[in-house]
Amino acid sequence: AVSAGWGPLAAAIPRWFPARRGLAMGIMSIGISVGILVIPFLSSHLITAFGWRLSFAILGLVTGTVIIGSTFLIKKEPPSVEESRPREEHPPSSPLGPPPRGWSLTEALGTRAFWMFFAGYLLWCTGFYMIAVHLAVYGIDLGFSPAGAALAVSLIGGGASSANSRWVCSLTASATGK
């Protein structure tokens, strides 16, 4: 769910906010941590009220509806690039010449760099999410109530949102005009 929502937004936001791209990306990125803050607590209450099977179905339907619904709201390009750029800013020019053209999917899939990034991201996500999905169960094994374990996971998400390195880097980039 994270990649399904984050990927399209990460591609669209720089086009919509070229002057404040760093700030816009930081605000968008913090949504992941806010989700980690809210969803475990919500899940705990749903499981208590409806059992885990129905709760899983409810969360899946809500998540799917939000992701699919939001894809219809995201527009690839702003109405006018000039309208989204502050008046004092001019399009960046490069002494190196025009920017390189985009890659087709076939070209990208044929590069070693693509597969290295893919493998690295896959391994990182696998390791991270294997731990993350078991945190609440581990908390219960340590003696926390299900609600207490969910709260602990939520607090981890809340801590991540306040200390999120993407947020800090994005604010720094925005402040320096990058």
* pLDDT tens, residue by residue, 118-166: 888 888 878 877 787 788 888 889 999 888 888 888 887 666 655 555 5
Instruction: Tally the domains of the chain.
Output: 1
* pLDDT tens, residue by residue, 37-62: 788 888 888 998 999 899 999 999 99
pTM above threshold 0.75: no
In sequence order, the 6+-apart residues with CB closer than 8 A to the CB of 11 are none
Q: Domain for residue 99, yes or no?
A: no
Q: Domain for residue 35, yes or no?
A: yes
Q: Domain for residue 96, yes or no?
A: no
75 with 9: CB under 8 angstroms?
no
Is 42 exposed, middle or buried (CB count within 10 Å of its CB: 0-12, 13-18, 19+)? middle
* pLDDT tens, residue by residue, 64-93: 888 788 777 776 677 665 554 555 555 555
Q: Domain for residue 37, yes or no?
A: yes
State yes or no: pLDDT of 36 exceeds 90: no
* pLDDT tens, residue by residue, 17-33: 888 877 888 777 777 77
Q: Domain for residue 90, yes or no?
A: no
Supply the pLDDT for residue 142.
92
Supply the pLDDT for residue 19.
80
Q: Domain for residue 92, yes or no?
A: no
* pLDDT tens, residue by residue, 99-122: 556 778 888 889 998 899 888 888
Domain assignment of residue 161, given as a range = 2-85+105-175
Q: What sign for the dihedral angle of Cα 105, 111, 112, 113?
A: negative
How far is it, in rounded angstroms, from Cα 33 to Cα 44?
18
Q: Domain for residue 98, yes or no?
A: no
